[in-house]
Structure 1
Amino acid sequence: MIVFDLICRDGGHKFEGWFGSSGDFDSQKAAGLIDCPSCGCSAVDKAVMAPNVGIKGNQRSSRSSTSIEPSKPPLPVEGERPITKAVAVPAEYQELVAKLAKAQAKMLEQSEWVGNDFSERVRAIHYGEKEAAPIHGTASADDVAELEDEGIDVMPLPLPVMPPEAQN
């Protein structure tokens, strides 16, 4: 999974989006599937992001210490709030996403993962070279456009899917 900071061009609202890859973002954007949760605008772009990189394990803390104890995070100063980009998600949205995830998982139980062979397999099914069967996999935005030009209906899954070989 990859998390992008996104921004809508109409209202300037910033929000996070989770995608299986950068290509998933591009294909979902091209298909008009990404909307601003604040105003519904579909003109959404990636916002500038600062990477979250931790310090190297061999670097010393700025505090000098001679003990063998692991360094502890500094205590919060009274009145300060932690800095975060996390957005509070209303409970009803969390419930909707959970139901959507459950429905998608149930649907995928009956579907075969074909990975990068998706375009070829769906063509073979469409042209009668293979028996019709529910499949899912990955395809680039260009592959999807070619399939649509051939009259083959495909659609992205609402939530990212982890390939079986990447699962624990």
Structure 2
Amino acid sequence: MIRYALHCEHDHEFEGWFGASGDFDDQQARGLIDCPACGSKAVRKAIMAPAVAGTKTRSQDNSPAQNQAVMMEAMSRIRRHVEDNFDDVGDAFATEARAIHEGRSEDRGIYGQATSQEVRDLVEDGVPIAPLPPEPRKKTELN
């Protein structure tokens, strides 16, 4: 495996692992590489020193702000995927999730709203559910 330090056009830094040295170029040409922070496909390899074993260890943790930005982008992508590919059943979520679980309704991805009590009942009955990440704040709402 080969690890490359990567940068997008917005100077987000991340890394990618590839099976062989030509895999990065092949995947980039097919549009398979994008920035995890912003989704940009304009990604390039950064200059990187070869990994050499030594006695010192150093942390390569991102700053808390970078970690938060990556997390918020990932949650936003999950929400968009659900909204684009699942059926919005509104406030009938609990009823429809239970019907799907029991085989009385078509097996498909759904999302919607449920009360706290409905959520507790579904979990207690073994119906597989998960909360949808919150909608990202609009830029006009940010400082």
TM (normalized to structure 2)?
Answer: 0.45
Q: Which has the higher contact order (CA 8 A, sep 6+)?
A: 1
